[in-house]
Amino acid sequence: MSEFQDFLKHKFAFVAIGEFQAGRFVEAQRLYEKAVATYTHGFKGAYLMQKPDTDEGIAVIMWDKIEDMEANQSEAYQAILAEINHLFVHPPTTSFYEVCSEIEGEKED
């Protein structure tokens, strides 16, 4: 029965949508990768997407539970967040989403 319950558990996604100051996306990407590297328990993956030819982006961070993200708010993470915040044109829009479907594509050898 435990395996069935595990099958029913859904991951959660933290989604941030924002725009960086002109020409600052690469710097923000470096800081994003540095921040994500601090995550441990419950972290399931991260994506950073950039709208072509702009400084607009979407970050998606996957977690087992929302509480796992909260538990990963270390001092190192907070320091990196302080560095990245000044790069935004406006504060990003952020939300949590429950992952309802997860469909993987073909895996290459």
Residue with tokens 């539970």: 65
In a domain, 2, yes or no: no
* Residue numbers of the domain that contains 81: 9-98
Nearest to 97 by CA among 17, 39, 20: 17
Express each pLDDT in 40-66 by its tens digit.
999 999 999 999 999 999 999 999 999
Residue with tokens 């909260």: 70
In a domain, 29, yes or no: yes
Q: What is the CATH number of the domain that holds 15?
A: 3.30.70.100
Give the pLDDT band of residue 102 (cuts 50, 70, 90): confident
In a domain, 48, yes or no: yes
In a domain, 3, yes or no: no
Asked if pLDDT for residue 23 goes beyond 60, the answer is yes
Alpha helix positions (H), the chain: 2-8, 25-36, 66-71, 75-85
Average pLDDT over residues 27-35: 97
Q: What's the total number of domains in the chain?
A: 1
Asked if pLDDT for residue 3 goes beyond 50, the answer is yes
In a domain, 72, yes or no: yes
Average pLDDT over residues 14-27: 97
* pLDDT at residue number 43: 97
In a domain, 24, yes or no: yes
